[in-house]
Amino acid sequence: MADDKRFYDKQGTAVNAIELMKGKTPQQIVALKLFSGIPVSEGCFKKEYLSYDGYMEIVKEKRGTGDYKDRALGKLGLDEEQVKEIDPVCFEGFRFEYDKLQPYTSFVNQRYVSSMYEITWIFFGNDQVYVYNHSFDTTDETKSDRTLEYFYKDITAFVTSSDTVEKKIWVSEGSGCSAKVESQQKSITSELFSIKVPGDTFACALREADNYATAISAMKQKLREMKNK
């Protein structure tokens, strides 16, 4: 990769490869190469690009093991016995837009991935709904832990929605040395779950492959019951 070739950081600033990778860990560099259309290795006549499975190994390693439930309860200062109105719910998945942050995005082996991944646990007590949200970025040290509490009486709705954004991203098809990589304009649709209250909305990512219909139906039923008290 030539030093004069231009890439873009998360702020949209054009930089060269050395500037893009400066200060990054080896794992972060591999992730950045995926989102910048840069091969992870080059020979005399071949280039090898990171596959979807390869990227998911990076996500898995950074995510760590476990379901985050105990961490969530600890951060919220709750005992599990306090939040047994209905079963707690866990959502997780890639986030493609987040307030003013613009995570890197790519389309790899027919799947959209981004540099930002979220894990959210939601618990249901007698009077309140408790939320723990953990997010991290695979290309830098960005990570966040948030806790939120809502009274049922203040919640106007539990909502699932589709968020669509237009981005110019790197598209990778195939694997290994046979992979073909090019920049394309893509319309990216991601699934979100939201808790709406007057003047504010909490939103988090859903994983497309998971079926949350039963859990979300139970949440909506619980909200109706509390509203009718």
Mean per-residue pLDDT, 25-38? 94
Q: How far is CA 174 from CA 50, 73, 95, 185, in A?
A: 10, 42, 24, 19
Model pLDDT, residue 43: 63
Residue 78 has pLDDT above 80, yes or no: yes
CB 139 within 8 A of CB 115: yes
Q: Is the pLDDT of residue 1 over 50?
A: no
The whole-angstrom separation of Cα 170 and Cα 186 is 9
State whether residue 160 is helix, strand or coil: strand
Let me know how many helices (H) and strands (E) the chain has, helices first: 5, 13
pTM of the shown model: 0.90
Q: How confident is the model at residue 99 (pLDDT cuts 50, 70, 90)?
A: low
Distances (CA, A) of 196 to 20, 60, 85, 163: 38, 30, 20, 16
**For the residues 194-211, what does the mean pLDDT come to?**
88
Tokens of 103: 């995570």
pLDDT for position 73: 97
Q: Which is higher by pLDDT, 180 or 111?
A: 111
At residue 168 the predicted structure's pLDDT band, cuts being 50, 70 and 90, is confident
Averaged pLDDT for residues 178-193: 86
Residue 176 confidence (pLDDT): 64
Predicted pLDDT of residue 97: 81
Q: What is the pLDDT of residue 6?
A: 73
